[in-house]
């Protein structure tokens, strides 16, 4: 049964609004632990002074929502937010940079796409030192902070749609089902077919088994 901790609040946004910041962006990522596909970040600026009602009382960590719930909420977030954006880093960029720098790159791309430009960032886990804006990082921010939870929903739905689209070109991997994560069916397909260009070749078990795959 859901608990109060499953539902984020506007406490951090309200604190910053009262301090004079009008455009506060919540930032979160999806796909960091997958074996294939990009890492995707969402960024959401709530309307200044919005109330904890409607969509902003319904959002929560995307991992706690069903695919249908995420899609429905994402559509409303895009309509109701002051601004929103997504950014991504490809599997090739993840292999080149490493997952942590690539995650920061995806987040930076999302933040830099926001109009209006945010005045303050609320980020799940990560600090974006390459962006010259005041910011705070929170452990499990997607469970505590409305704007971060909204960003997590946009990141997750956008990434899922990309993996579903990849299925058309690479149907034998089953991307539409597991979205690039290490599900048994995905591991079995990798063992049979080897990785495709959208796999992360620096991630185990792909890195460990590259010689078996014939690369």
User: CB within 8 A of 134, min separation 6: which ones?
Assistant: 21, 119, 120, 121
Task: Decide if pLDDT at 99 tops 90.
Answer: yes
Q: What is the pLDDT of residue 200?
A: 98
pLDDT given at position 207 = 86
Number of other CB atoms surrounding residue 62 within 10 Å = 26
Q: Would you say residue 31 has pLDDT above 70?
A: yes
The mean predicted confidence, pLDDT, of the chain is: 94
Between the alpha carbon of residue 20 and those of residues 15, 17, 78, 84, the distances in Å are: 9, 5, 24, 21
Q: Over pLDDT 70: what percentage of the chain?
A: 93
pLDDT digits (tens, 9 = 90+) for 127-139: 999 999 999 999 9
Q: Classify residue 46 by its DSSP letter.
A: P
Q: CA-CA distance, 178 to 180, in Å (whole number)?
A: 6
Overall average pLDDT of the 174-180 stretch: 97
Task: Enumerate residues 6+ apart whose C-beta is below 8 A from 205.
Answer: 187, 190
pLDDT at 129: 95
Distances (CA, A) of 15 to 12, 51, 54, 128: 5, 13, 20, 21
Strand ranges of the sheet holding 83-89, from the earlier edge strand across to the other edge: 83-89, 39-45, 24-30, 120-124, 135-138
pLDDT of residue 210: 55
| Helical H segments across the chain, by residue range | 11-18, 67-80, 91-97, 99-112, 141-144, 146-169, 175-178, 184-193, 206-213
Give domain limits for the chain. Answer: 7-170
User: For the segment 58-82, what is each residue's pLDDT rounded down to a tens digit?
Assistant: 999 999 999 999 999 999 999 999 9
- Rounded to two decimals, the pTM is 0.94
Across 114-121, average pLDDT: 98
- CA-to-CA distance for 175 and 181, rounded, in angstroms? 8
Question: pLDDT by residue (tens digit) across 151-172?
Answer: 999 999 999 999 999 999 999 9
| pLDDT value of residue 5 | 55
The three-class DSSP label of residue 181 is coil
CATH number of 7-170, picked from 3.30.420.10, 3.40.50.10710, 3.10.20.90, 1.10.3720.10: 3.30.420.10
pLDDT tens per residue, range 179-195: 999 999 999 999 999 99
């Amino acid at each position: 049964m859901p608990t109060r901790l499953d539902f984020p609040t506007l406490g951090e946004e309200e604190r910053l609004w009262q301090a004079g910041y009008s455009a506060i962006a919540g930032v979160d990522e999806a796909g960091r632990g997958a074996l294939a596909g990009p890492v995707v970040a969402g960024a959401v600026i709530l309307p200044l002074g919005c109330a904890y009602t409607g969509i902003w009382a319904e959002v929560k960590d995307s991992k706690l929502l069903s695919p249908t719930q995420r899609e429905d909420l994402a559509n409303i977030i895009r309509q109701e937010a002051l601004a929103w954006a997504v950014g991504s880093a490809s599997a090739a960029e993840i292999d080149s940079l490493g997952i942590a720098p690539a995650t920061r790159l995806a987040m930076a791309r999302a933040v830099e796409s926001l109009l209006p430009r945010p005045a303050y960032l609320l980020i799940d886990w990560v600090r974006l030192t390459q962006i010259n804006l005041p910011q705070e990082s929170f452990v499990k921010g997607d469970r505590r902070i409305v704007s971060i939870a909204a960003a997590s929903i946009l990141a997750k739905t956008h990434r899922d749609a990309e993996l579903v689209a990849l299925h058309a070109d690479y149907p034998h991997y089953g991307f539409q089902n597991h979205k690039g994560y290490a599900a048994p069916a995905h591991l079995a397909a990798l063992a049979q077919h080897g990785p495709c260009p959208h796999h992360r070749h620096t991630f185990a078990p792909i890195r460990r088994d590259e010689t078996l795959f014939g690369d």
